Amino acid sequence: MTSIAAEPVHRPVRQVVLQAPRPVKILILGVFVTRMGSFFATFATLFLTQRGFASHTLPAVLVAIGLAGMLGSLGGGWLADRIGSRASLVGSMIASSAAVAMLVVAPNHPTVVVAVCLVALCSQSYQPAASALLILNSAPADRVPTFAFFRLAMNVGAAIGAVIAGFVASRSYSALFSIEAIAYAACGMVVFLGLRHAQVTPTGARPDGPDTVAEPNEPALTSAPGRVDLADTAPHPQRNLPVWLLCALLFGVATVYAQYQSTLPLQVVRHGYTTAFYGALLAVNGVVVIAGELPISSVTRRLPWVVPLIGGVLVMTIGLAGAAMISLAAVIVVAFIAFTVGEMIFAPVTNAAVAAISPAGTEARYQGLLATAQSLGFSLGPAIGTTVFALSHHGLWIGTLLVAVALSTGIYGVWRISQ
């Protein structure tokens, strides 16, 4: 018997946030705590330098850290689909805490290298489980604002963490990383205790239910209407092809996006401005994201995911290129705000888009694939950008615009074949 899926009900964003299921609130509280104490990515290079790593050995260690992080994203998604998101989250947080503690007391260079790789591996493995928990405990119509709320918690936590880091880092990296170890352990305890009475089933454990965490006497949310259910069919590679293609395209988007942290500051300095000016741009970015992402999500959630994804990528790239190619300070500020608006349009939609075309029971592993693709883009983007920048300053920014158009065309193609 075939049933017609009802039109999605778009509740106000404020209602989505305030009435979010307990698992979502617990996870957002946990990630807020974690982000307040997450300093490793920012201070890894300075810490390694202080520990006596020579300039010619640093690149190899940083590459190892990047590879470990990508393996963590892939492994975290695979693990969450098998043991459940809650168990995977708690395990990754406790393991991250132990790895950071190992880094604090590491007595020599080999131990430091092992510790930093373990920190990267464990700290990235939570992302797929967190994304899957958000997806499977929110209605399809609520996923974009839910991820916007999640990103808001991360950004506010990071802003508070920057204040903590500014005070502690100048005194002791050991104290800074000790705070991080405590933050990871606290997040693990928040998730463990907050969801201890919930019934959790791994997404791949049974064909008729996702890895949903339900309140007592509250039915678990089910997969989105219209999703492909693989319970009665054998795995088919073509069903997964759109997900792989979309993640590959989002790798390209991350490569373009990463230019704001690598080649854009070089271009700003080349225009004759100081690094303090670039720092002010980053501050503006943080304020605008915190203030505007949830309201924007109230609009983007009502659209097919392809619209905000393409629109956001194009606005982001035009803003990035405009801030780089025009030397007037006022224009740079306005263009960078446009870059930020583009980021707010597409970023909360990426996880929901991948979830929308993922086969049932594979949510976490494909969220892991997305996290890995984005991490790879963030890692390779600066290297690609600086190489092209050295050859042609304006050529880089014209190239980013052309790449954005090509990526947008590909995203549209994926959306068409996934319908």
Average pLDDT along the chain, 419 residues, taken 10 residues at a time: 51 75 87 82 75 78 82 82 84 92 90 91 84 82 84 82 76 84 90 70 38 41 35 47 94 92 85 83 85 86 92 96 93 95 92 86 82 84 84 91 96 91
Q: What is the CATH number of the domain that holds 337?
A: 1.20.1250.20
- How many distinct helices (H) and strands (E) make up the chain? 16, 0
Domain end: 166, 194, 222, which one? 194
Please indicate, yes or no, whether residues 77 and 130 belong to a single structural domain of this protein.
Answer: yes
Domain end: 175, 194, 213, which one? 194
Please indicate, yes or no, whether residues 83 and 147 belong to a single structural domain of this protein.
Answer: yes
Distance (Å, whole) CA 99 – CA 92 = 10
Q: First and final CA of the chain: distance in angstroms?
A: 21
Number of domains in the chain: 2
Distance (Å, whole) CA 110 – CA 116 = 10
Residue span of the structural domain in which 320 resides: 237-418
Domain end: 194, 225, 251, which one? 194
Please indicate, yes or no, whether residues 71 and 172 belong to a single structural domain of this protein.
Answer: yes
Distance (Å, whole) CA 271 – CA 336 = 15
In a domain, 228, yes or no: no
Please indicate, yes or no, whether residues 270 and 176 belong to a single structural domain of this protein.
Answer: no
- The whole-number pLDDT of residue 197 equals 60
Distance (Å, whole) CA 334 – CA 125 = 36
Distance (Å, whole) CA 177 – CA 188 = 17
Please indicate, yes or no, whether residues 303 and 413 belong to a single structural domain of this protein.
Answer: yes
Query: CA nearest 372: which of 354, 385, 356, 360?
Result: 354
* All residues at 6 or more sequence positions from 51 whose CB lies less than 8 Å from its CB, including other chains: 109, 112
Please indicate, yes or no, whether residues 250 and 169 belong to a single structural domain of this protein.
Answer: no
In a domain, 182, yes or no: yes
In a domain, 203, yes or no: no
In a domain, 224, yes or no: no
In a domain, 324, yes or no: yes
In a domain, 202, yes or no: no
Please indicate, yes or no, whether residues 182 and 281 belong to a single structural domain of this protein.
Answer: no
Distance (Å, whole) CA 402 – CA 252 = 12
In a domain, 1, yes or no: no
In a domain, 201, yes or no: no
Distance (Å, whole) CA 403 – CA 314 = 10
